[in-house]
Amino acid sequence: MAPAAASRIAVVTGASSGIGAATARQLAAAGYRVVLTARRKDRIEALAEEITAAGHDAVAYGLDVTDRAAVDEFARAFRTVGVLVNNAGGALGADPVATGDPEQWRQMYETNVLGTLNVTQALLPALTGSGDGTVVILSSTAGHATYEGGGGYVAAKHAEHVLAETLRLEIVGTPVRVIEVAPGLVKTDEFALTRFGGDREKAEKVYAGVAEPLTADDVADTITWAVTRPPHVNIDLLVVRPRAQASNTKVHREL
């Protein structure tokens, strides 16, 4: 469904690459005026230009979602917002609990959980004010079951799942939906590389032998579908995995 004027703005966090960038492109194509946010301003500016050149509507705003003062200032620019896609976040490390780095755990909690909290809190009045707001929380299958070495990432993603569930309970009766999208194995340029501190060999192992992991576009398609349902339809939770993945730990690999 094409968005109504008051709910035409879609804010996407972490829009500089991967799922965030793909979602920005698809929401713009669906008729939204997309506000791209990320720390890497040069990237989102280039993407905004690309989207605009394709005849759609996009602007870029450099933002670190963990900086609450900056998030509040960003939110002041909007009277109404139709969609907020909380995509910023990611994984750091895959160490067992016994030896995991507490600093990595803290950073993951800050970006994934507090980042989502910051932007959602700051934009909630504008989302409500649109008369038809949608909050999307990109959690993960790591938010629903654990795996060895998942540690701090699994904990942070469980927290995001709880944030989505709790918010949905608390704002029922207001014109805002809360949609959680939980992807499994998605091959993007940066997710695994960031997780393993730039170690390409370790990053490649995550996808080794998997014929077709999900792509950023697959997930963006899922998000866009959920967001473009009629306003009274709330897709609470959508778990999406590649066919080759039956669970977090059961992945078919042809090696």
What residue ranges bind ligand 8X3 (CB under 6 A)? 140-142, 153, 184-185, 248
Q: Is 164 helix (H, G, I), strand (E, B) or coil?
A: helix
Residue type, 216: A
Q: How far is the CB of 209 from ligand 8X3 (least distance, A)?
A: 15
Q: How far is the CB of 237 from ligand 8X3 (least distance, A)?
A: 15
The catalytic residue positions are: 153
**Of 122 and 164, CB closest to ligand 8X3:** 164
Cβ-contact 194, 153 below 8 angstroms: no
How many C-beta atoms lie closer than 10 Å to residue 113's C-beta?
Answer: 19
- Distance of alpha carbon 11 from alpha carbon 163, whole angstroms: 19
Exposure class string for 73-111: b at 16+ Cβ within 10 A, else e:
ebbeebebbbbbbbbbbbbbbbeeeeebeeebbebbbbb
Quickly tell me which residue has 């960031």 as its tokens: 194
Q: Is 119 helix (H, G, I), strand (E, B) or coil?
A: helix
Phi, psi of 55 (to 5 degrees): 90, 10
- Distance of alpha carbon 59 from alpha carbon 179, whole angstroms: 24
